[in-house]
Amino acid sequence: MAEAARLAIALAAALLLLAAPPAAAAPEKDRRWSELNAEQQEILVPLEGEWDRLEPAQRVKWIGVAKRYPKMTPVGQKRVQTRMKKWVKLTPEQRKQARENYRRISKVPPEKRGDLQRDWAEYQSLPPQERQRTAPKKKPVTAQ
Amino acid sequence: MNEPQFALRIRQHLNQGARVDARVAAQLRAAREQALARHRSEPEAGLALASNALGRLGGVRGLSLRVLLPLVILGVAFATAVAWQQTQRVAEVEELDAQLLSSDLPIDAYLDQGFAAWLKRRASQ
C-alpha cells in the first residue's frame, strides 16, 4: 500500500515536471534600457526616460507587453504607445482598480451596450450628481 | 487410467495426506511463515542498500531513503508548482495590460468609479 502511495507521488511529480515547462512560456528577464533590443526599444520608447527607475516586475511586464505588440492592430499599437506614460505614473492601487473595471466592462455583452467610445462620451456628458449616483457604494442601496 | 481419473486419485491422496498431527502441522506452518517473511524482505533489501549508499555519500545516516525520496519529490513538485503559478500570474497581467491599453476606451474610463457600474446597469435595463 505504501509502495503504491510512493509510486503515485513520484508519478504525479514527474507529470508536473513534464507538464510545467511547455504550459508556461519562459518568463521574460528584467533588463536595463541599454540591454533591450532595437525592436523593444522602438516599442517602449515612450518609457525611455523612466525605464531604469521602474520596478523590476514592471519592466518585466512591459517587455511582455512589447512581445504582444506586433500582434495588435495599428490603432491598438498607437493607443498603447500614447497611454504607456500615463499608465506607469498611476499608483499600483489605481492600476489594480483600472484592471478590475476593464474586466467588469469586458463582461458586458457587446450587444447589450453600444459603441464603448460613444457610451463613455454619453456618461461624461451626464451631470456630476447623476454620475456619482452610479458609483459603487460601501453598502448597496436598496429601494425602500 | 486417464488424466481426470489420475488427478482425482492424487487429490484423494493429498486430502488424506493433509491430515497430519499437530506437531507436523506446526512445523509446516513455521516453515511457511519463514519462507513468506524472507520473500517479503527481499525488495526491501535493495532499498536498504541504496539507503546505505546514500548515507555514505551524503552523510545523512539515520535518514532512510524511503523517507527522504518522497520528501525531495514533494519539495521539487511544490517549488515547480509555485514557480509555474507565478509565471502564469505575470503572463495574465501582461495580457490584461496589453488589452486594456490598446482598447477603445482611454485609461480615465477605467479609472472612473462609476462608469463600469453605469454601463452594467444600462445593459441590464
B119 closest CB neighbour out of A67, A80, A108? A108
Q: Is residue A85 very low, low, confident or very high in pLDDT (cuts 50, 70, 90)?
A: very high
Query: Is B28 found in the same domain as B70?
Result: no
Mean pLDDT of B103-123: 92
> What's the structural domain count of chain B?
2
Q: What is the pLDDT of residues B12-42, one digit of tens each?
A: 887 776 667 888 889 989 999 999 998 887 6
Closest residue of B to A114, CA-based?
Answer: B123
Q: What pLDDT is stored for residue A24 in this prediction?
A: 47
Query: Is B49 found in the same domain as B90?
Result: no
Query: Is B70 found in the same domain as B58?
Result: no
Query: Is B124 found in the same domain as B75?
Result: yes
Query: Is B69 found in the same domain as B57?
Result: no
> What's at A71, amino acid-wise?
K
Set of chain B residues whose Cβ sits within 8 Å of the Cβ of A133: 114
Residue A36 has pLDDT above 50, yes or no: yes
| Contact call for B105 and A116, based on CB within 8 A | yes
Choosing from B20, B39, B62, the residue where a domain stops is B62
Q: What pLDDT is stored for residue A1 in this prediction?
A: 47
Contact between B93 and A87 (Cβ < 8 Å): no
Report yes or no: B73 at the A interface, CB cutoff 8 Å. Answer: yes
> What's at A23, amino acid-wise?
A
State which residues form the domain around B10. 1-62
The widest CA-to-CA distance across chain A, in whole angstroms, is: 72
Interface test with A, best of B93, B100, B113 (most A CBs within 10 A): B100
Mean pLDDT of A108-121: 88
B116 closest CB neighbour out of A23, A27, A104? A104
Query: Which residue bears the cell 497611454?
Result: A83
Q: What is the pLDDT of residues B47-92, one digit of tens each?
A: 555 555 555 555 555 678 888 999 999 999 999 999 999 889 989 9
Q: What pLDDT is stored for residue B20 in this prediction?
A: 72
Q: What angle do CA A54, A58, A63 make, to 5 degrees?
A: 110
- Please give the Cα distance from B68 to B121 (Å, whole number): 58
Query: Which residue bears the cell 502564469?
Result: B88
Which residues 74-103 in chain B show a CB within 8 A of chain A?
A: 74, 76-77, 80-81, 83-84, 87-88, 90-91, 93-103
Query: Is B71 found in the same domain as B54?
Result: no
What is the grid cell recorded at A1?
A: 500500500
Q: Is residue A139 very low, low, confident or very high in pLDDT (cuts 50, 70, 90)?
A: very low
What is the grid cell recorded at B33?
A: 511463515
ipTM of the complex: 0.74
Choosing from B12, B30, B62, the residue where a domain stops is B62
Report yes or no: A80 at the B interface, CB cutoff 8 Å. Answer: yes
Contact between B106 and A76 (Cβ < 8 Å): no
Nearest to A82 by CA among B122, B106, B54: B106
Query: Is B49 found in the same domain as B32?
Result: yes
| Contact call for A86 and B121, based on CB within 8 A | no
Query: Is B117 found in the same domain as B72?
Result: yes
Mean pLDDT of B98-105: 95
| Contact call for A77 and B103, based on CB within 8 A | no
H or E element in which residue A14 lies = helix A2-23
Query: Is B105 found in the same domain as B116?
Result: yes
